[in-house]
Amino acid sequence: MAKRSAQAPSVGPLAPEVSARQAPRVLVLGVEGRIAREFVALARDRFGLDSVTTVLRVPGKSPPPRAVSSDPDEPSTGAMALLRARTVVCVALSTDLESDLRVTTVVRRGVLRELVRAAADAAQHHLVVVTSARVYGARAGNPVPLPADHPLQARDDGGIAGDLLDVEAELGAIREARPDLQVTVVRPAAVVGPGVDTSITRHFESPRLLVLGGSHPLWQFVHVEDLARAILVVVQAFAADSTAATADGPESCGAPAPDHGGVVTVGNPHPLTQERVERLTGKRRLELPAAAAHATARRLHAAGVLSTSGGDLDYVRYPWVVGSHWLESVGWSPRYDNETCLQAMLEQLRDRGLLALRRDAAVGTASAAVALVGTAAMLKRRRRKGA
């Protein structure tokens, strides 16, 4: 069992219960998965069972035309168009890669746009949208950490990063159309935790870890529980800020609203080097020239093995580390550091069968697929030499 960081698990001045006057009515809308469920559980504890409503959908499918009660498993009637909430949290980041791969890019993006527009229509005062730090892109010249207002430079090759760039573009249009609406974008580092299945987690499922020649990647994670707590901090900060704007009462926590154009980044400090990751995982590296790795990914894509042409290789080659400066300024701190996040992910992988891991990894992400192909080629060469 992975141990949590020794750092105090606090959300700082936002931790005390808010008053009934200050508590927002929250609608959680978006991708069904661990992020939404973790946040819903926290929000119900903080604001009350009846204050949290959810409209969630399986990745790639449109949301149901009805509201869902505070228990995500018990649907209740109510027209989607009539849903209104003071605060809407829209989870656009999927943690279910298997479901994502079942639908085409066009369908996935159409559904995400529909979700974001529905979230904006439902939001009366504050819209919080969860995307990913992947939208910044992974590049050799990236500063460490990336500032929250860094340009969005991800490469769109039909994968998840491109999906989220689409969401970010939609948010730009919403900001112009609704200047009265406070929009906050939460961009986390690589998310890990129970039930989280992404291209990053599948990278670690291969028997050897792919390293592109000459690269020095930095690995940063955020546990899904810490991400949910961060989203809650954002929701509470705006609620308190709005209350303070109308009446300076003892209920206000005095936390400033997020700056940097309404962007909040979430990630653990002290990213891990590739060498440290290899020691912690006990896995050896498979180092390939970057050109060879990308060529292999393109061949696998052409053969239908990969859904993308290898754009996610950038994320295991270059840094895309973010800070948590605003969150830390209001007292949030992670319960899981990068090492414990990695250990938690490895424990989850050990609970699955080895054959299933290798099959899923090969289909799900270019880095794992290229690593499997490269490992097989290396073993074949060794057998020939030994013959």
For residue range 254-271, list pLDDT tens digits in order.
456 665 579 999 999 999
Q: Rg (Cα) of the chain, in Å, rounded?
A: 21
- pLDDT grade for 238, boundaries at 50, 70 and 90: confident
- pLDDT value at position 381? 64
- pLDDT value at position 201? 92
Residue reference for tokens 């027209």 = 79
- pLDDT value at position 39? 97
- pLDDT grade for 60, boundaries at 50, 70 and 90: low
**12-378: CATH, from 3.20.20.100, 3.40.50.720, 3.90.45.10, 3.30.470.10:** 3.40.50.720
Is the per-residue pLDDT at 223 higher than 50?
yes
Sequence-distant (6+) residues with CB within 8 A of 272 are 218, 219, 220, 280, 338, 339, 342
- pLDDT value at position 310? 86
What residue spans define the domains of the chain?
A: 12-378
Q: Which tokens is 297 given?
A: 């990914």
- Among 96-100, 248-252, 303-307, 328-332, whose mean pLDDT is lowest? 248-252
Mean pLDDT, residues 178-196: 96
Q: Please give the Cα distance from 23 to 17 (Å, whole number).
A: 9
- Helix H, strand E, coil C: the string for 16-29 is CCCCCCCCCCEEEE
Q: Please give the Cα distance from 231 to 236 (Å, whole number).
A: 9
Q: Please give the Cα distance from 199 to 345 (Å, whole number).
A: 13
Mean pLDDT, residues 304-317: 88
- pLDDT value at position 63? 53
Q: Which of 3, 52, 49 is nearest to 24 (CA)?
A: 52
Alpha carbon 35 to chain centroid distance? 8
pTM of this structure: 0.86
Q: What are the percentages of helix, strand and coil residues in the chain, rounded to 5?
A: 45, 15, 40
| Residue type (1 letter), 130 | V
| Residue type (1 letter), 176 | E
Is the per-residue pLDDT at 41 higher than 50?
yes
